[in-house]
Amino acid sequence: TRPFNRPSQFLIILALALSSAAWPAGSSCAAQRDASPSLSDPLPHAYPQDDLTPLYEKAARYILEQTGYDKKKGHCFVFGAAQGRLAYEIAQRSDLYLFATEQDKEKVHSARDTLLKAKMYGNRITLHHGTLDKLRYSDYGAALVVSDTVMSQGRCSGSAAEMYRMVRPHGGVALIGQPRDCPNKLKRAHLEQWLTQGKLDYEISEDKNGLWARIERGPLAGAGEWTKMWGDLGNTACSLD
């Protein structure tokens, strides 16, 4: 066979080889690909219909509507995943990919099993076991940060500063709290003390939607802008950061 005369010829052939048409029907690779639901597919119900179900549904709707992520894509971090129910309800109502840390190893295993049965674990939601005082992730990893632990247990665990470290610059937001009528009620003084210890600027709302703290991150100090293909209208191909 003749060698490839141009790199582009090799790339075209490689792309064709890796396309879905290259996988024969019935192959294990094709079956695995088809088994993964798209974001628009209705997801099977994973958790029991109990008294907590409407609370989690209400919390997920409120979080997404208040942050705009009912219509946007991105990554959401769950700071304290508990049994994974808040992550599940958010995934049901958005195009977000969720990753989470939970301190209780048994809860992590239980939540993984439940989400696997619902065909959501690994493609929409990922859970890790670890401490909430020192997270295993790099800075600014999420556009949205929430907490199931705060909602379900009514207490703030771990470091508020570590929670905030995950919020991305220039529009990232953390919305921490719970809707009304949760069995374990979150006290406003406790929430404010936790956030103050983390030296965070926040806004608290307490109304018919429940008790919620909103923490946003603006642009980083010294950050520049790259608004056009070549930097700016003058095509400078550089930024001022």
pLDDT at position 30 is 41
pLDDT along the chain (241 residues), means of 10: 51 48 42 46 74 96 96 96 97 96 97 94 96 97 98 96 97 97 97 98 97 95 82 83 69
pLDDT at 237: 85
Distance (Å, whole) CA 71 – CA 224: 27
Residue holding tokens 């696997």? 116
Assign 113 to helix, strand or coil: helix
To 10 degrees, the CA torsion angle through 38, 40, 46, 47?
150
Write down the pLDDT at residue 44. 57
Q: Where are the alpha helices (DSSP H) in the chain?
A: 7-18, 28-35, 53-67, 85-92, 105-117, 148-153, 160-165, 188-197
Which tokens hold the place of 4?
């490839």
Measured in degrees and rounded to the nearest 5, phi and psi for residue 233 equal: -65, -25
Cα separation of 151 and 67, whole Å?
17
What pLDDT does 5 receive? 53
Report pLDDT for 198.
97
| Stated length of the chain | 241
